[in-house]
A and B are shown apart, each in its own frame.
Chain A
Amino acid sequence: MTAFLTRRRIRIINQVCWTVALCVAAIPFVFPFLWMVSSGFKSAAEIFGSPSLVPREWQWRNFIDVFNHQPFARQYFNSLYIAVIVTALTLLVSSLAGYALARMRFAGAALIALLLVTALMIPEEVTIIPNFFLMRWAGLVDTHWPLILLPTFGPQGIMATFLMRQYFLALPRELEDAGKMDGLSRLGVWWRIALPMSRPALAAVAIITFLNSWNLFLEPLIFVSSLDKFTLPLALSNFTDPYGTPLWHLQLAATSLAVVPILVVYIIAQRQIIESFALSGVKG
């Protein structure tokens, strides 16, 4: 080892190399977002012009035209309110079932857990055809009901159930026993003791469920046909001229409007959000 290459220097050089490599690797992860936003500000003429991240002329009008092309505000609201309902329902249903599976003894518990695990594995494409007929029979096609019911009770909801169960299992029993002594009913124990202690699991379920509903595509595609009932992912693919050619400047402006708020929340709460996904994956 020469005098120049001290151990400290090697470590610094090593670190710099890694950082540079990571920066290069990060390009395809960051760049699409930047390009999406910048192109959303370009005019239809400029959009395929010479590539520049800064638009020559900032065309703010795109963000108004987006709302004139189709009922985009309404579609935005649809996505939002559906995601909120699905999240609330999933929290309720999965924490009830998860609590029963974790804490209560009853015949058939093992069988139910096994059945639910199988449902967890099966892609929704397998059951989507009968579910379509079911919804049609119930008169729920072209309503938002399928977009609420199927995710809540489908694989996503079952995953939430197991996540809750896992978390309840790890909680100390003593507090719940004390609650029972004090005359709390089962429901009371669940609501006043088990749930308040499970905030991290509830947060994880809420985050993943919300995102999943927000990004849902297959179900809206199949069940919804009226423009004013569209959700965002469906609306985004609908910015085309009458011949089906994408109106890129509008499409990218709309996509920015759909993606950027989520990204902002993500950047603020990245720690919590990433941990939620880790929690849900580990139990896999």
Chain B
Amino acid sequence: MADTLPMRDTARREDAPWLTLKMREAMEAWLFISPTLAGFLIFFGGPLIAVVWYSLTEWNLLTQQATFVGLDNYNDALFRNPDFWHVVRNSVIFAVGLVPLNMALALVLALALSGRFAGVVVFRTVFFAPVVTSAVAWAIVWKFLLQGEAGFINQILALVGIDGPNWLREPNWAMAAVIVTRVIKMVGLNMILYIAALQAIPRDYGAAARLEGASGWQIFRWIVWPLLGPTTLVIMVITTIGSFKVFDHIYQMTGGGPENGTLVLAFYIYQQGFQFFDVGYASALAMIMFVIVMVLTIFQLALRRRDT
């Protein structure tokens, strides 16, 4: 790497007098950026084009044959295969359950922990700890806690006379369990983003409003919340896209079940591509995911532009 870069000292400059300074700078810049660019083309650009092509073929890994079938895979997904809409519905339920819960909890925790008081660091450390923990480990422990009769949660519920459901074996409860445990895992991240934003608000704002007789709620509603706007949007983008990407957590906790009750889009792609070896169909699904994520991103960026 190092010796392929042109050394920029006076002696070398005379070696290559035909290079203007500007060209030299551009050349060096390309060299600096070339590893990233090469990686991008090989592992992202190329595959993105390939996945478009795959999605137009009927290709089962077992038969090793790819035949061009046009938009058949998309037709399958959108109109013929009821599984697809079931999966989309699950993904939307997951996102709609997770994003508001995550953001509201993150905001409340941040409001409680943005000040300085004894123990604030301890609390921040605690609420952030699951973020650095592997999703697989987190899911394993919760799966264990949420076992049927003998699981810890249900034993505790039994103590107060509640007969808890078999959380991960009933579709609706499984979805709820996956959402809530995911929120607990990830809320720390949004919490610290909110804390950073809250600490950037000058103290005088609140103090001035208080002098004018504003209540705590009024200060929050009319001063703090609007100032948090840009942060809220960033968090919304990150959290929504993140919720469509969730895979390891669900793979480990429910395996997409029961009765496909927690089968979400990312999992469905994995299942079709790497368990059923239906490469064409899985690629069409991947393209659909690509479009969904792009639309979400552009939509939210547009919102952001309008607001600022």
Contact A277 B192 (CB under 8 A): yes
- Kindly report which residue of chain B lies nearest to residue A30, judged by CB atoms: B126
Are A218 and B127 in contact (CB-based, < 8 A)?
no
- Of the stretches B71-79, B219-227, B242-250, the one at the interface is B242-250
Instruction: Decide if B141 touches A96 in the complex (CB within 8 Å).
Output: no
Interface residues, chain B, with chain A CB atoms under 8 Å away: 2, 5-10, 22, 25-26, 28-30, 32-33, 35-37, 39-40, 42-48, 50-51, 54, 109, 112-113, 117, 119, 121, 123-138, 140-145, 147, 150-152, 155-156, 184, 189, 192-193, 195-196, 234, 237-238, 241, 244-245, 247-248, 251-252, 266, 269-270, 273-274, 279, 282-283, 286-287, 289-290, 293-294, 297
Given A122-B290, A129-B283, A236-B140, also A282-B132 (CB < 8 A): no
Interface segment, A2-10, A58-66, A67-75, A182-190? A182-190
Instruction: Give the residue name and chain of the B residue nearest to A32 (CB).
Output: B141
Q: How far is the CA of A260 from the CA of B251 in the complex (A)?
A: 22
- The answer to whether A109 and B29 have CB atoms under 8 Å apart is yes
Partner of B192, one of A106, A157, A161, A278: A278
Let me know if B32 and A122 touch, CB within 8 A. no
Known contacts A29-B129, A125-B269, A215-B136; A185/B5 CB under 8 A: yes
CA distance A46 to B51 in the complex (A): 50
Are A96's CB and B29's CB within 8 A? no
13 A-B pairs (CB sep. < 8 Å): A22-B113, A25-B127, A35-B152, A105-B25, A115-B40, A122-B290, A123-B293, A125-B270, A129-B269, A157-B39, A215-B136, A232-B134, A277-B131
Other A-B pairs, 4, CB within 8 Å; known A29-B127, A153-B42, A278-B196: A26-B123, A33-B129, A112-B37, A128-B273
Q: Which residue of B lies closest to A270 (CB)?
A: B125
> In the bound complex, how far is the Cα of B143 from the Cα of A67, in angstroms?
23
- Give the residues in chain B near A161, CB-CB below 8 Å: 36
Residues of A within 8 A of B (CB): 15, 18-19, 21-22, 25-26, 28-30, 32-33, 35-36, 39, 48, 50-51, 92-94, 96-97, 99-101, 104-107, 109, 112, 115-116, 119, 121-123, 125-134, 149-150, 152-154, 157-158, 161, 183-187, 190, 211, 214-215, 217-218, 221-222, 232-233, 236-237, 246, 248, 251-252, 255, 258-259, 262-263, 266-267, 270-271, 273-274, 277-278, 281-282, 284
Instruction: Judge whether A126 and B290 touch: CB under 8 Å.
Output: yes
B25:A266 contact, CB within 8 angstroms: no
Q: Once the chains bind, are B144 and A96 in contact (CB under 8 Å)? A: no
Q: Is the CB of B44 within 8 A of A106?
A: no
Tell me which residues across on chain B come within 8 A of A29, comparing CB atoms: 126-127, 129-130, 184
Whole-angstrom distance between the alpha carbons of A30 and B113 in the complex?
Answer: 17
B279, closest chain A residue (CB): A129
**Distance in angstroms between the alpha carbons of A177 and B135 in the assembled complex:** 45
Q: A186-B28, A273-B132, A281-B193 are in contact. Are A267 and B44 (CB under 8 A)?
A: no
State the CA gap A112–B45 with chains docked (Å): 12
Give the complex CA separation of A69 and B187 in angstroms: 35
- Known A-B contacts A26-B127, A112-B37; the reply to A125 vs B247 at CB < 8 A is yes
A214→B134 contact, CB < 8 A: yes
Whether B37 lies near A93 (C-beta < 8 A) is no
What chain A residues lie within 8 Å of B25 (beta carbons)?
104-106, 186
Question: CA–CA, A130 to B274, complex, Å?
Answer: 12
A263 CA / B286 CA spacing, docked (Å): 35
Neighbour of A15 across the interface among B32, B117, B125, B138, CB < 8 A: B117
Q: Which residues of chain A are near B128, meaning CB under 8 Å? A: 270, 274, 277
**Contacting residues, chain A, for B127 (C-beta < 8 A):** 25-26, 29
Residues of B near A109 (CB, < 8 A) are 29
B12 CB → nearest A CB, Å = 8
Ranked nearest first, the 3 interchain pairs of A and B with the lowest CB-CB distance are: A153-B39, A130-B47, A100-B32
Partner of A252, one of B10, B46, B144, B273: B144
Contacts of A152 in B (CB 8 A): 39
- Cβ of B5 and Cβ of A22 under 8 Å apart? no
A72 to B254, CA, bound (A): 24
Report B-chain residues with C-beta under 8 Å of the C-beta of A154. Answer: 43-44
Q: Given A51-B156, A107-B26, A270-B125, A236 and B289 touching (CB < 8 A)?
A: no
**Cβ contacts under 8 Å, B290 to chain A:** 122, 126
